[in-house]
Structure 1
Amino acid sequence: MNLPNILTMSRILLIPVIVALIFMDNWTTQWFAFTLYVIAALTDFFDGYLARRMQIISPLGRMLDPIADKLIVGALLIAFAFDGSFDMNLTVAAILIMMREIGVAGLREHLGAEQITVHVSDLGKYKTTVQLVALGAIMLIPLVPSLASAAYAMVWLATGLTVYTGYDYFKRAWPHLIDEKS
């Protein structure tokens, strides 16, 4: 156990609390949910930063960090589709994001079994940041309704980046998929 891994695990543990607070649907719990969400999202930056700075990059951390990212994004997308925060168009965006995230996770699993690594691109890292910012903006709509248009636009930007980086990841993995040895 080290500090970066503890931060990553804390992000995972905060997810059900954040979702429960969102479903309580009152001003105080919405602010508390948003505050916890910001803390969780910041751990995404600090766990990697500290691991590199302290030179304690671990197999556990390399595994847990992308899982934590996908869990928080996926849980909030589902929560917002369920509670009506998303209309049909944003639900389609949520489905596209989930399809990419699950597809890339499956691809990584397959390639990992073959000892093949396709590294995450810088754009893939920005994609996660845009997803987190967009979902935070959606969380703020009940508290600051004037943010709705900007929040919806951010969700679509996140969707575009998500779909593109998924395409790019599959494109870079394709030679390994068609290789007779894989």
Structure 2
Amino acid sequence: MTLPNMLTMSRIVLIPIFVLAFYLPNESHRMVATGVFFLAGFTDWLDGYIARKMNQTTRFGAFLDPVADKLMVAVALTMIVEDFNSMWITIPSIIIIGREIVISALREWMAEMGKRASVAVSYIGKVKTGAQMWAILLMLFSPPGEVVANIGVALLYLASVLTLWSMFIYLKAAWPDLTEEMYIK
């Protein structure tokens, strides 16, 4: 068990702590939950840095890292949807979560065909992730309707547009393989 893999697993362990923190019956619940989400994001950066720097990349880590990320984001967006109780927050959240499912399936399928590189993470995907993480942090930290939360909402919409754009790029790259006639036995 490598340190990067332990850090990745810690993100999964942080999920129930994050949820409990958000629903604490006190005034600091938003700050605590935001801190836990930030800590999870920091461990995501740290595990990747250590894995590359110390040459500790593993197949298990390559599998678990995106799973941990997507679980934390899906849980956070689900809680934000409930907190904001608005169709206008639900729609971009569904777009983001739905895209993650589609692209994860696409990457798995392309990997089975030996063509994973054609759906590797793009620059737009990285910008989308940055906008998405800041949106979540700001919307966790600030109650609906406040200026900070409204900035988070704007970033959530930016992230959802970039989500669709990056999904289009990935699907376009995989389209020749998706439309090639194959007969499954």
Instruction: Note the C-alpha offset of 1:125.
Output: 2.2
Instruction: Please tell me whether residue 172 in structure 1 is matched to residue 181 in structure 2.
Output: no
- Counting only pairs closer than 5 Å after superposition, residues 111-122 of structure 1 correspond to structure 2 as 111-117=110-116, 118-122=119-123
SS at match of 2:28: helix
Partner of 1:100 in structure 2? Answer: 99
Instruction: Please tell me whether residue 38 in structure 1 is matched to residue 38 in structure 2.
Output: yes
- Distance in 1 (CA, whole Å) between partners of 2:65 and 2:4 is 9
The CA deviation string for residues 30-78 of structure 1, in whole angstroms up to 9 with x for no partner, is 2211111111011121111111111111111111111111111111111
CA contact (8 A) 1:69 1:128 kept: no
Normalized against structure 2, the TM-score is what?
0.89
Partner of 1:17 in structure 2? Answer: 17
Instruction: Note the C-alpha offset of 1:144.
Output: 9.9
SS at match of 1:27: coil
- Distance in 2 (CA, whole Å) between partners of 1:62 and 1:124 is 17
Change (3 A) 1:162 1:29: same
Partner of 1:146 in structure 2? Answer: 147
Instruction: Note the C-alpha offset of 1:25.
Output: 5.0
In structure 2, runs of 5+ residues without a counterpart are none
- Distance in 2 (CA, whole Å) between partners of 1:105 and 1:143 is 31
SS at match of 2:23: helix
- Distance in 2 (CA, whole Å) between partners of 1:95 and 1:26 is 29
One-letter amino acid of the structure 2 residue matched with residue 126 of structure 1: V
Normalized against structure 1, the TM-score is what?
0.91
Tell me which stretches of 4 or more aligned residues in structure 1 moved more than 3 Å: none
Aligned length: 181
Partner of 2:130 in structure 1? Answer: 129
- Identity of matched residues, %: 38
Instruction: Note the C-alpha offset of 1:160.
Output: 1.1
- Distance in 1 (CA, whole Å) between partners of 2:100 and 2:144 is 29
CA contact (8 A) 1:37 1:136 kept: yes
One-letter amino acid of the structure 2 residue matched with residue 119 of structure 1: A
Change (3 A) 1:152 1:174: same
One-letter amino acid of the structure 2 residue matched with residue 7 of structure 1: L
CA RMSD of aligned residues (A): 1.9
One-letter amino acid of the structure 2 residue matched with residue 109 of structure 1: E
SS at match of 1:24: coil
